[in-house]
Chains A and B, each alone.
Chain A
Amino acid sequence: MNRAAVLIGVNRVKGLPALNDAVRGTQRMHDWVLAQGFAPGRVALITDEAGPVTAAAIQDAVERLLDPMAGVEQLLIYFAGHGLNINYGEFWLLSRGLERPTEAVDVARSAVLARYSSVPHVVFISDACRTAAAGVQQQFITGSPVFPAVAGGGAEKAVDQFFACTLGNPALEVQAQDAANAGTFTALYTEALLEVLGGGEPTIIEVAGDGEVPDGVVRPWPLKRVLREKVSARLIALNLHTRAFQTPDARITSDPGQAWIARLLPPPGAVSRAAGLPAGARTMVRPKAPGGGLADEQPARSLPDWVDATLDNVLGRGGVPGDSADPEEARAITDQTERHGKEFEPRHFETRCGIKLRGGQAVQAICPGTRIEWVVEGEILRAYPRPDQASDRVLLIFDDGSGAMVPLLPEFIAELSFDNGEWAGLAYEASENSSVHDPDPARRAARRQLREFVAAAVERGVFQPDRETLAALAARLLDAPLPDPVLLLYLAYALDDAGMVGRLRELIAQARARGATPLFDVALLAYRPGEAQDELRACPPGMPLLARGWSGLAARGVVLAEGVADVSRMRQPGLWSRFTPAAVDVFLQQLRSPEVNHA
């Protein structure tokens, strides 16, 4: 296979503490790719040892490798340095990443564009933090994609993303504790990664049987699982005097039985996939902890593993609780699920359509296309859709001047939940007097609980079901008179993350056949560049509901309705798209002759 790599290491970002092992880690990756047989001419090593690292240098390196005649079949893009998360999108900070908004790598946009490149398998590896942006300066980071605009075309390519940590958490460099090496820092993730890629975990080396030499391979799914175990084991072994934790994560879209990342001699007794574990199989192996200190404690399973096992239980797939302790954040998820899972009044409108708010209030509602009126000012809004109307949208303005564009779906009541004044959730329940309302309270409750559990996991970035779980969730979604619009929304992102856009398109077709209009994000994720955009723009609310949808929008070349495109950067931090007062002004100008309802 013709493999190529772009390896980026940035120790120093002006305005942030210097790192110690980013450049060295990148050089170790460089040694590994050469040992793997990558042609030196197809490996770009870009570090700040010789000077500042710029977005243009990375773009140039990627572009060279994307030359059609380069014939690259796998492209690995590795980054070690400072990273952060803005609105559920990852950014890698380059040398002047804080001063210049575009001097960061927009990983989400790059990953979407990579799908439409000419390389069949692209692997992003990120040894960087995923903590939320702090302060105004960081919020203004816009980043740059490192892949060019859609060029190669053809079928979507596999793009795997490996992260050193879960969403919202830091990646760690750890200082050596022995006197001889005092002052030496090592990046936990890269160290563990290189150990596994170098053959340090023989149990996951499979026999590929594809005629290439050597015949052993490390595939993405087992790598994801083993990295969690390895990093956890290293932290325990280090016997640190803090409760530092780090859980590696990954989004994998490549074919579990075809894709591989490392090529090695198979150990004696290694088997091919046909005889091995099924794709994405989860087996928790408790690290063997050396004695002393925190290492004696029973290790908690990681939050993603806990979410996976709980989902399996809920779906009747026999999720095994295991003997590990639940992670600390598990309680927050169960509490949120319980809180948002409770039904609240009203459960029906005579018009079978409306919006209700819990824990917060709106001061104004605007809907140009549908008559609306407050039943309870600021909290309960009744809508009067026409019989032939598929959907609409309502601009809700809150007391701080910010706003949200909420889809209006006939037969459904929209529920907005607020926690401590922050918009924390959106759900839709069929009005009790609707023909699509499920009269069985137990089934309704189960569906609500499932949706809210998924919502809480999505909020924490740990909803990453494997293909089998996704299939079970899709079946559960269709086991209702009308598919739950928001559960479909969450599923759409998960299907997209798993590279199952074909299945998403099928789901949309099934939902449409029952008369359901998909939400905008759902249609966006199923959209392929070059297709007509009118139908997409007609999906409510005409723009992404989840914050992470905005990067997908730009990467797919989707153009929003005139005027709306300007609000892309006028958003407040959060899972959902909540707009700043400046964006609300834009909407107010755009919605001409609106029916305005002051609370």
Chain B
Amino acid sequence: MRDLVFVHGRSQQGKDSKALKAEWIANWAGGLKKSGLSVPLPDERIHFPYYGDTLDQLVAGKSPEEAARIVVRGGAPEGGGELSAEEKAFIEAVLLESIGRFEADAEGAVQRALPPGAIVEKGVLNWGWVQAILVVLDKHVPGASSASVALATRDVFQYLTNDVIRGVIDAGTASAMLADPGAVLVSHSLGTVVAYNVLRLNARQKGWKVPLFVTLGSPLAVSVIKQKLAGIKPIGFPADVAAWFNAMDERDVVSLYPLDGKNFPLTPAIDNKTDVRNDTSNNHGISGYLGDKEVARRIYDAVTAP
């Protein structure tokens, strides 16, 4: 029996680490139940490195909902700091790529979403343009809360570009990793970026063994995210990871692409499952992934393998 490490993304519910861990375990238990199984590990062998406080600091003590409005508005919130030009460009690139999944002519759709009389600046930082992208996104994913996508994107940007924040999050995540016999690593959303990066940077030197690396709702294949990740260390299959399983709902507005040979080609190839039916509001929530029968079973098999 191997230990299990969960690496979370942003929690919109503002729950603390214990509550979140309990929720993840319950979600997994729900998925296992569909196969007639139950959680095979005691709680103490399930590790949940928590960095929610660090994420909260990114939005200067504001609630996630309030912070999301700030990100979407792109203004200079009191005490929250103005979004940098680079950050705005990053968010815009991700959002444009996300609506590309629904619109063959993404730019045309955004133009049509601009209000009558809108002024389009011939500059690189046109926040009105970004607003229009969000309108298109909301149209295609009702209740998807484009704001939450923008906020998740901001988290990823901050993680990838702010050395201090990345250092804190990485250290917390690394502390949960184990050498022989190793631990199964399950990550979600921003957590997949964190987990990949921590593995890529440290696995070989620290001798961690990961029989299975699971990524759920991962935005790793989004172009600007790949670009930033490569700036930290050239992208490659993490050392000492025996197998990588990726699962997504094709409607997930954060993950966008499978980690396949076209979008995230690595050797050995990543095993992809793209038919998850994630019924959370934005098709991205963790419960919709861990509650999937096959996802839950894959994790179970890796944990219980001899």
CB of B6, distance to nearest CB on chain A (Å): 27
- Which residues of chain A from 137 to 188 have a CB within 8 Å of any chain B CB? 151-155
Report how far A500 CA is from B245 CA in the complex, Å. Answer: 41
Q: Are B232 and A154 in contact (CB under 8 A)?
A: yes
Q: Are A530 and B84 in contact (CB under 8 A)?
A: yes
Contact with A along B204-237 (1 / 0, CB 8 A): 0000000000000000000100111111111110
Q: Are B264 and A69 in contact (CB under 8 A)?
A: yes
The residues of B that contact A70 with a CB separation of less than 8 Å are 234
Q: Which of B234, B265, B266 contacts A120 (CB 8 A)?
A: B234
CB of A323, distance to nearest CB on chain B (Å): 46
Q: Are B84 and A68 in contact (CB under 8 A)?
A: no
> Does A73 interact with chain B (Cβ within 8 Å)?
yes
- Which residues of chain A from 110 to 150 have a CB within 8 Å of any chain B CB? 116-120
> Does B271 interact with chain A (Cβ within 8 Å)?
no
The residues of A that contact B234 with a CB separation of less than 8 Å are 2, 70-73, 118-120
The residues of B that contact A72 with a CB separation of less than 8 Å are 234
Q: Which residue of B lies closest to A532 (CB)?
A: B84
Report how far A2 CA is from B227 CA in the complex, Å. Answer: 17
Report how far A114 CA is from B151 CA in the complex, Å. Answer: 31
> Does B145 interact with chain A (Cβ within 8 Å)?
no
Q: Are B161 and A69 in contact (CB under 8 A)?
A: no
CB of B301, distance to nearest CB on chain A (Å): 29
Report how far A543 CA is from B160 CA in the complex, Å. Answer: 32
Q: Which of B86, B161, B163, B230 contacts A68 (CB 8 A)?
A: B230
Q: Which residue of A lies closest to B226 (CB)?
A: A68
Report how far A73 CA is from B84 CA in the complex, Å. Answer: 29
The residues of B that contact A152 with a CB separation of less than 8 Å are 227-228, 230-231
CB of B163, distance to nearest CB on chain A (Å): 8
The residues of B that contact A68 with a CB separation of less than 8 Å are 223, 226-227, 229-230, 235
Q: Are A153 and B236 in contact (CB under 8 A)?
A: no
Report how far A530 CA is from B264 CA in the complex, Å. Answer: 28
* Residue tally, chain A, CB below 8 Å to B: 18
Q: Are B228 and A153 in contact (CB under 8 A)?
A: yes
CB of A407, distance to nearest CB on chain B (Å): 29
Q: Are B236 and A71 in contact (CB under 8 A)?
A: yes
Report how far A530 CA is from B227 CA in the complex, Å. Answer: 16
Q: Are A118 and B265 in contact (CB under 8 A)?
A: no
The residues of A that contact B86 with a CB separation of less than 8 Å are 530
- Which residues of chain B from 129 to 187 have a CB within 8 Å of any chain A CB? 160-161, 163
Q: Are B235 and A71 in contact (CB under 8 A)?
A: yes
CB of B179, distance to nearest CB on chain A (Å): 17
Report how far A73 CA is from B230 CA in the complex, Å. Answer: 10
Q: Which of B223, B231, B265, B266 contacts A153 (CB 8 A)?
A: B231
Report how far A151 CA is from B90 CA in the complex, Å. Answer: 11
CB of A95, distance to nearest CB on chain B (Å): 32
Q: Are B235 and A151 in contact (CB under 8 A)?
A: no
Q: Which of A2, A151, A530 contacts B236 (CB 8 A)?
A: A2
The residues of B that contact A153 with a CB separation of less than 8 Å are 160-161, 227-228, 231
CB of B64, distance to nearest CB on chain A (Å): 26
Q: Are A69 and B84 in contact (CB under 8 A)?
A: no
Q: Which residue of A lies closest to B229 (CB)?
A: A68
Report how far A72 CA is from B84 CA in the complex, Å. Answer: 29
Tell which of B85, B223, B227, B264 has the most Cβ of chain A within 10 Å: B227
Q: Are A69 and B228 in contact (CB under 8 A)?
A: no
Report how far A153 CA is from B85 CA in the complex, Å. Answer: 14
Report how far A203 CA is from B23 CA in the complex, Å. Answer: 62
Q: Are A69 and B226 in contact (CB under 8 A)?
A: yes
CB of B208, distance to nearest CB on chain A (Å): 16
Report how far A154 CA is from B228 CA in the complex, Å. Answer: 7
Report how far A151 CA is from B230 CA in the complex, Å. Answer: 10
The residues of B that contact A155 with a CB separation of less than 8 Å are 163, 232
Report how far A151 CA is from B226 CA in the complex, Å. Answer: 11
Report how far A155 CA is from B226 CA in the complex, Å. Answer: 16
- Which residues of chain B from 258 to 291 have a CB within 8 Å of any chain A CB? 264-266
Q: Which residue of A lies closest to B86 (CB)?
A: A530
Report how far A539 CA is from B300 CA in the complex, Å. Answer: 61
Report how far A71 CA is from B232 CA in the complex, Å. Answer: 11
Q: Which residue of B lies closest to A66 (CB)?
A: B230
- Which residues of chain A from 14 to 45 have a CB within 8 Å of any chain B CB? none
CB of B161, distance to nearest CB on chain A (Å): 6
What would 10 A/B residue contacts be, using CB atoms closer than 8 Å? A68-B227, A69-B266, A71-B236, A118-B227, A118-B230, A118-B234, A120-B234, A151-B231, A152-B230, A530-B84
7 interchain residue pairs of minimum CB distance: A154-B231, A152-B231, A118-B230, A68-B230, A68-B226, A153-B231, A71-B234
Q: Give the interface of B toward A (CB within 8 A).
A: 84-86, 160-161, 163, 223, 226-236, 264-266
Q: A68-B226, A152-B228 are in contact. List 10 more A-B contacts (CB 8 A).
A: A2-B234, A2-B236, A69-B226, A69-B265, A118-B227, A120-B234, A153-B231, A154-B228, A154-B231, A530-B86
Q: Give the interface of A toward B (CB within 8 A).
A: 2, 68-73, 116-120, 151-155, 530
